[in-house]
Amino acid sequence: MDPMTALQTASAIIGIVDFGARLLSDTYEIYQSVSGHTARDVGLLTLSDELDGLGKQLQARLQAAPSAASASDRTLQNLAARCVEASKKLHLAIRDLQATRSGSSRINTAATSFASALKGVWKKGEIDSLKEELTEIRSQIIFAAIISVLAESKQDGQRHIELKDRLDQIAKKLDSRDNTTHQLAKELTQITRLDKSNHLSRRNADLVDILWGMDWKSWAASHEGSIFIDSQSAPYTHVDGVPIPMKILTSLSFREINSRKEAIPEAYTSTCSWIFRDSETDENGEQLKWPSFPMWLKQGDENIYWITGKPGSGKSTLMKYIIENPQLQAHLRVYAGGLPCLQAGFFFWNPGSEMETSREGLLRTLLHQCLQARPELIPAVAPRRWALYSLLGSRTVAPEWTWKELKESFDSLCSFHGECFRLALFIDGLDEFKESEKSPDSLINWIRDTSTHYGIKICVSSRPWSVFSDAFKREPSLTMQDLSRRDIEHFVYTEFDKSTAFQELKEVFHDDATSIIKEILERAQGVFLWVSLVVRNLLSTLVDNPSLADLKLKLAEIPSNMAGLYNTIWGSIPAERQCRSSKILQICTDSWQPCSAEVMWLATEVNPNPQAIANPGIHNVMKRVLDGHTRGICELVRGQVVFLHRSAADWVKTDDDSTTTEIRSKAPLDFEPNLNLLEASLQYHTVITTSRDRMKFELSYMLDILFISITELYRTATADRISQLSDRLIQAMDNVNKLGYDLAAQIQNPRGQKWTARSKDSISEGWSTRHWLARQLQTTHSEAENCFVGCAASAGFVDYVKKKLQDNPSLLIPKKGRISILESAIFMGYFGSEHLFSTTIDPSHHSYRTGRLEIIRLILETSPHRYKTALGEPIGIRRYLNCCKSLGMGLPRSGGANKIKERRLA
């Protein structure tokens, strides 16, 4: 079906749909009203004529259309046929009413209005049923029309020109009361008028609003999402050379998506294997002390399995073992009953980023894993994004995922459970869930609703908090510390057997050596983490002091609780090492994501040589540093420095101020964790060459560290402390600007030209269309002049902006095509600067507002210039005041309101 016919058919269908929906809404209004009438009464003759005309128009479109060749064409025709049937129902009702009221062409009273009469002809259930059908038709028709237009208009350049010329005519003919469809046609017209640079117009941005404002629930619930694209071709559908599934998967991914799972240690050799014991007795023939996990996996009558236990008992290690064990798929295949198996897992991590502790991170991870395994489902699960990328190409900036859209997409995915696949979910660390204004109950309710509504198997783990015990007490469950004794015994005996020093002592003092091992096992109480730390420390003592008496004395001094154990380990670190130990622990605590071995070495070493990190042996060096300076509290996992366990992070951040104060007091006075981390990261990039693909990633990372550093500094430090570090902070920001140029300069456009200026160019400190920020943003306004001071103003970095304006007052000169510093401070994000920040950072947060207000006041009170926006757009006093209100700013001091009127931004 050619694009003209597709859109004409769609507009005819929507005309009938909206007519019926409006009519039925009036009828429903009567059911709900006290007076028994609606605000609008309509004549029967008018209604009959209108519906008859719409029905004939649609039938004519169907007869004129060629036979459907594509899935979307067939969808349009099926929807049209359904719409004709719906119109017949309404038309018969009108005709029946006309027959009973002959001689009257217009009804003027509520008692005889069509809607009121229809109430007598149809029951409320029939009205609701037809309303739901019309809503479903409308939800599907726009998507089907878009895909049909896209497929056909791309085949022939001449037909694309025809599409451009005739879309205006279609928009004019659409029902003027159908604002959404009318607007859609206008947006499709605008799509064909993109300039050669392919920059998204503001109209295209509005199309995003249309797609995201539509109700897709009924369309998704129909399970017909796959009809819009051949399942075999979905993974290979490209836009501008980029596979659409890859674009959507990339939008779901986030920096730390696999960090927590990778940081969890592998199960110790020959441990955890008991979980897959497929019988009702253990290896000694005794009755199992827990509900059989394989039986739960294979059976379909119980959907939730709860793994619980003390902190450090090995819950996360067991969950990782389960997910990565080949036996899991073998058992799930029995459960799937011939359907493909689909599994996904998520590991909450309390010390981690927002994504690692929230429902948003949970659903993004689960969706990413499932859709990566089944990319042919992406058009059905994420229809908005599929349509957007298909129509607007690779330069399109899609909206950020929201909880509402993620839940909608996940529900769509789950709706295929039992038909296309069998899904099993594994969610670790429910007690590590941490979301603003959300309690664990919200997470529990989501788990229960998902399991109950869709029949999906979900294995969860958590500490035995009351909220989880109450929720899962009726579900199959196991308690780790009750089942891990044999694993702990195996670990302890194996580790001591590997120690030459201990074996030599055991040969001479067998009974004493054996008693030490027994004492460790008795005090372990099923907490594997406690055992591993104790054994590590005792064995390290034997290397230099082979005395069982001293070993027993040291063991007796170790507390049985984790916090006490950490205090003991901290106290055992030699005083000369505690300065660096303090730096490492503070960076691990304050950094919003794991720090690499290279950056940690630079941030904690005294007078480091940056060139040393180019040698791969730096990882071995850092591992030895961690062993000697943290004694196992921190470790190196896949090149990143992380806490051994959440309990270690909790210990450093304990409410007991004496512990935190003690640790921080050992660091030098000029040490500021995030600022040192930023400086070390900048040093890292002077040595390590960044690939072109990572340019934007690295720039966002630098800005994240920069903004966190400043936020924390202003939140926690005194005025003297800020003054002490101000020069370092300003220098670090200048270095970020320089790095931005150097990284962006590596990128070339398709003609082989450099995208940006270089850091050594004279324009690097001022305004330029070749500023790296322009290429970093890649938005509608990326051709505007940019300045790094404007970026600083967006985030409220007062000291930096003041310093730069004092050094160069010309930065305040306004100019068309220039994003002024004042605009950056007021309308943060209006010109796309939100894309500079990762999802971890929210520059509109109140922490930044005070600084932005101070910058706005500074400019309005001192600058003699009149301002216009970068695009010459009128932004007057009302908009300025609204923005100030949204920032919680109030008005500037010193007659600021009058000054604004005098220098009105218009």
901: pLDDT strictly greater than 50: no
105: pLDDT strictly greater than 90: no
pLDDT band with cut points at 50, 70 and 90 for residue 898 = very low
Tokens 């029967």 sit on residue: 44
What pLDDT was estimated at residue 906? Answer: 32
Of 581, 586, 584, 555, nearest to 570 by C-alpha is: 581
Give the global pTM: 0.70
Q: Report, as an integer, the average pLDDT of 151-161.
A: 47
What is the spatial distance between Cα 633 and Cα 572, in angstroms, rounded to a whole number?
12
> Which residues does residue 305 pair with via DSSP β-bridges, in sequence order?
459
Task: Say which residues have a Cβ less than 8 Å from residue 821's Cβ, sequence separation at least 6.
Answer: 787, 789, 790, 793, 801, 805, 811, 812, 855, 859
Alpha helices (H) in 111-225, listed in sequence order = 114-121, 124-153, 157-173, 179-191, 202-213, 217-221
pLDDT band with cut points at 50, 70 and 90 for residue 354 = confident
Higher pLDDT, 567 or 96: 567
Which of 203-212, 370-379, 821-830 has maximum average pLDDT? Answer: 370-379
Helix, strand, coil percent values for the chain (each to nearest 5): 65, 5, 30
pLDDT band with cut points at 50, 70 and 90 for residue 314 = very high
Contact 679, 671 (CB under 8 A): no
Hey, is 252 helix, strand or coil?
A: helix
DSSP classification of residue 748: B
For the chain, the structural domain boundaries read 3-193, 259-374+421-480, 485-558, 574-688, 714-902
Backbone phi and psi for residue 97, each to the nearest 5 degrees, phi listed first:
-70, -40
Q: What b/e sequence results for 496-513 when a residue is b if at least 16 CB atoms lie within 10 Å of its CB, and e otherwise?
A: beebebbeebbeeeeeeb
Q: Which range is least confidently modeled, 172-186, 547-561, 700-714, 716-730?
A: 172-186
What pLDDT was estimated at residue 403? Answer: 92
718: pLDDT strictly greater than 90: no
What string of H, E and C letters represents the secondary structure of 451-487? HHHHCCEEEEEECCCHHHHHHHCCCCEEEHHHHCHHH
Backbone phi and psi for residue 422, each to the nearest 5 degrees, phi listed first:
-115, 125
Which tens digit of pLDDT belongs to each residue from 516-543? 999 999 999 899 999 999 998 899 888 8
Higher pLDDT, 379 or 226: 379
DSSP classification of residue 374: -
CATH 3.40.50.300 holds for 259-374+421-480: yes
What pLDDT was estimated at residue 182? Answer: 44
Higher pLDDT, 63 or 826: 826
14: pLDDT strictly greater than 60: no
Longest dimension (CA), the chain: 118
Helix or strand (DSSP H, E) at 251: helix 244-252
What is the spatial distance between Cα 69 and Cα 90, in angstroms, rounded to a whole number?
31
Both tokens of residue 470? 């109450």
What is the spatial distance between Cα 274 and Cα 485, in angstroms, rounded to a whole number?
12
Percent of the chain at pLDDT exceeding 70: 58
What is the spatial distance between Cα 422 and Cα 333, in angstroms, rounded to a whole number?
9
DSSP string, 557-618: HS-SSHHHHHHHHHHHS-GGGHHHHHHHHHHHHH-SSPEEHHHHHHHHSSS--GGGGGSTTH
Tokens 């067998």 sit on residue: 510
Which of 180-194, 291-305, 677-691 has maximum average pLDDT? Answer: 291-305
DSSP classification of residue 398: P
48: pLDDT strictly greater than 60: no
What pLDDT was estimated at residue 20? Answer: 54
63: pLDDT strictly greater than 90: no
Q: Which range is least confidently modeled, 174-178, 398-402, 549-553, 822-826?
A: 174-178
Contact 565, 659 (CB under 8 A): no
Neighbouring C-beta atoms of residue 399, cutoff 10 Å: 15
What pLDDT was estimated at residue 768? Answer: 65
Higher pLDDT, 19 or 512: 512
Beta pairing, strands 422-428 & 238-239: unpaired
Q: Report, as an integer, the average pLDDT of 825-852.
A: 55
pLDDT band with cut points at 50, 70 and 90 for residue 237 = low
Which tens digit of pLDDT belongs to each residue from 476-506? 999 999 898 889 999 999 999 999 999 999 9
316: pLDDT strictly greater than 90: yes
459: pLDDT strictly greater than 80: yes
Backbone phi and psi for residue 341, each to the nearest 5 degrees, phi listed first:
-90, 140
What pLDDT was estimated at residue 858? Answer: 85
Which of 97-111, 207-221, 887-901 has maximum average pLDDT? Answer: 207-221
394: pLDDT strictly greater than 80: no
What pLDDT was estimated at residue 289? Answer: 79
Which tens digit of pLDDT belongs to each residue from 590-612? 887 788 999 999 999 998 999 99
Contact 476, 296 (CB under 8 A): yes
pLDDT band with cut points at 50, 70 and 90 for residue 15 = low
Higher pLDDT, 791 or 73: 791
What is the spatial distance between Cα 23 and Cα 784, in angstroms, rounded to a whole number?
49
Of 370, 393, 365, 391, nearest to 381 by C-alpha is: 370
Residue 787, exposed/middle/buried by CB under 10 A (0-12, 13-18, 19+)? buried
pLDDT band with cut points at 50, 70 and 90 for residue 830 = very low
368-373 CB contacts, 8 Å cutoff, 24+ apart: 368/249, 368/252, 368/253, 368/257, 369/343, 369/344, 369/345, 370/342, 370/344, 370/413, 370/423, 371/245, 371/248, 371/249, 371/252, 371/413, 372/249, 373/342
pLDDT band with cut points at 50, 70 and 90 for residue 681 = confident
185: pLDDT strictly greater than 50: no
What pLDDT was estimated at residue 788? Answer: 84
Tokens 């309390």 sit on residue: 350
Q: Report, as an integer, the average pLDDT of 407-430.
A: 95
Percent of the chain at pLDDT exceeding 90: 32
224: pLDDT strictly greater than 50: no
pLDDT band with cut points at 50, 70 and 90 for residue 205 = low
- C-alpha Rg value of the chain to the nearest Å: 33
Contact 58, 13 (CB under 8 A): yes
Q: Report, as an integer, the average pLDDT of 883-897.
A: 44
pLDDT band with cut points at 50, 70 and 90 for residue 127 = low
What pLDDT was estimated at residue 130? Answer: 60
304: pLDDT strictly greater than 90: yes
Which tens digit of pLDDT belongs to each residue from 82-91? 766 766 776 6
Residue type, 750: P
What is the spatial distance between Cα 115 and Cα 97, in angstroms, rounded to a whole number?
11
831: pLDDT strictly greater than 50: no
Query: Over the chain, what is the mean pLDDT?
Result: 74
